Chains A and B, each alone.
Chain A
Amino acid sequence: MNPQRKRIPKIEPFKHRVEVDPKFFDKSWKKLDDAIREIYNHNASGLSFEELYRTAYNMVLHKHGGRLYDKLAENLKGHLREMGKLVEAAQGGLFLEELQRRWADHIKALQMIRDILMYMDRTFIPSSKKTPVFEHGLELWRDIVVRSPKIHGRLVDTLLELIHRERMGEMINRGLMRNTTKMLMELGSSVYQDDFERPFLEVSASFYSGESQQCIERCDCGEYLKNAEKRLAEESERVSLYMDAKTADKIANVVDKEMLSIHMQRLFLMENSGLVNMLINDKHEDLTRMYDLFKRVPDGHSTIRSLMASHVKETGKILVTDPERLRDPVDFVQRLLNEKDKYDEIVSVSFSNDKTFQNALNASFEHFINLNNRSPEFISLYVDDKLRKGVKGAANEEDIETVLDKVMMLFRYLQEKDVFEKYYKQHLAKRLLSGKTSSDEAERNMLVKLKTECGYQFTSKLESMFTDLKTSQDTMQSFYANLSGDSDGPTISVQILTTGSWPTQPCATCNLPPEILGVSELFRAHYLGTHNGRRLTWQTNMGNADIKATFGDRKHELNVSTYQMCVLMLFNSTDTLTYKEIEQNTAIPPVDLKRCLQSLACVKGKNVLRKEPMSKDISDSDAFHFNDKFSSKLVKVKIGTVVAQKESEPEKQETRHRVEEDRKPQIEAAIVRIMKSRRVLDHNSIVTEVTKQLQARFLPNPVVIKKRIESLIEREFLERDKVDRKLYRYLA
Chain B
Amino acid sequence: QHKLGRGSRDKVQQFMAITGASEKVALQALKASDWHLEGSFDYFYSQPQISVTNSRHLEDLYSRYKERDADMIMVEGTSQLCNDLLVDPQDVVMLVISWHMKAATMCEFTRQEFIDGLQSIGVDSIEKLREKLPSLRAEIKDDNKFREIYNFAFAWAREKGQKSLPLETAIGMWRLLFAERHWPLIDHWCQFLQVRHNKAISRDTWSQLLEFVKTIDPQLSNYDEEGAWPYLIDEFVEYLTENGCVQRNK
Contacts and interface: CB of A to CB of B under 8 A. Distances in A.
B234 A725 contact: no
Contact of A710 (B202, B211, B227): B202
Contacts of A683: 226, 228
Contacts of B205: 710
Interface in A709-731: 710, 713-714, 720, 725-726
B230 A710 contact: yes
B242 interface: no
B203 interface: yes
A714 B164 contact: yes
A703 B164 CA distance: 21
Contacts, number: 33
Given A684-B226, A714-B163, A725 B208 contact: yes
A720 B229 CA distance: 11
B163 to A, nearest CB: 6
A470 interface: no
Given A714-B163, A714-B164, A714-B202, A725 B211 contact: yes
Interface in A672-696: 682-684
A714 B231 contact: no
Nearest to A703: B231
B203 A714 contact: yes
Interface residues of A, number: 12
A710 B226 contact: no
A707 interface: yes
Contact of A713 (B202, B211, B227): B202
A682 B228 contact: yes
Interface in B196-245: 202-205, 208, 211, 226-228, 230-231, 234
A205 B131 CA distance: 100
B55 to A, nearest CB: 37
Contacts of A714: 163-164, 202-204
B234 A720 contact: no
A706 interface: yes
A720 B204 contact: yes
Given A714-B202, A714-B204, A720-B204, A726 B227 contact: yes
Given A684-B226, A714-B164, A725-B211, A707 B231 contact: yes
Interface string B105-116: 000000000000
Contacts of A703: 231, 234
B20 to A, nearest CB: 40
A595 B30 CA distance: 90
A713 B231 contact: no
Contacts of A720: 204, 208
A333 B166 CA distance: 50
A706 B231 contact: yes
Nearest to A708: B231
Nearest to B203: A714
Contacts of B231: 703, 706-707, 710
A561 to B, nearest CB: 43
Contacts of A710: 202, 204-205, 230-231
A703 B202 CA distance: 17
User: Which of B202, B205, B211, B231 has the largest count of A CB atoms less than 10 A from its CB?
Assistant: B231
Contacts of B164: 714
Contacts of A684: 226, 228
B228 A725 contact: yes
User: Which of B202, B204, B211, B227 has the largest count of A CB atoms less than 10 A from its CB?
Assistant: B204
Contacts of B228: 682-684, 706, 725-726
A275 B200 CA distance: 59
A248 to B, nearest CB: 55
A556 B230 CA distance: 67
B137 to A, nearest CB: 28
Given A682-B228, A725-B211, A726-B228, A713 B234 contact: no
B212 to A, nearest CB: 10
B231 to A, nearest CB: 5
B218 to A, nearest CB: 20
A713 B204 contact: yes
Nearest to A715: B163
A649 B203 CA distance: 39
Interface string A653-684: 00000000000000000000000000000111
Nearest to A707: B231
A700 B205 CA distance: 23
Nearest to A726: B228
Contacts of B203: 713-714
Contacts of B227: 725-726
A710 B203 CA distance: 10
A682 B163 CA distance: 25
Nearest to B204: A713
A720 B228 CA distance: 10
A684 B225 CA distance: 11
Contacts of A713: 202-204
Give 3 nearest A-B pairs by CB, closest first: A683-B228, A726-B228, A713-B204
Interface of A: 682-684, 703, 706-707, 710, 713-714, 720, 725-726
Given A684-B228, A713-B203, A726-B228, 14 more contacts: A683-B226, A683-B228, A684-B226, A703-B234, A706-B230, A707-B231, A710-B202, A710-B205, A710-B231, A713-B202, A713-B204, A714-B202, A714-B203, A720-B204
7 contacts: A703-B231, A706-B228, A710-B205, A714-B163, A714-B164, A720-B208, A725-B228
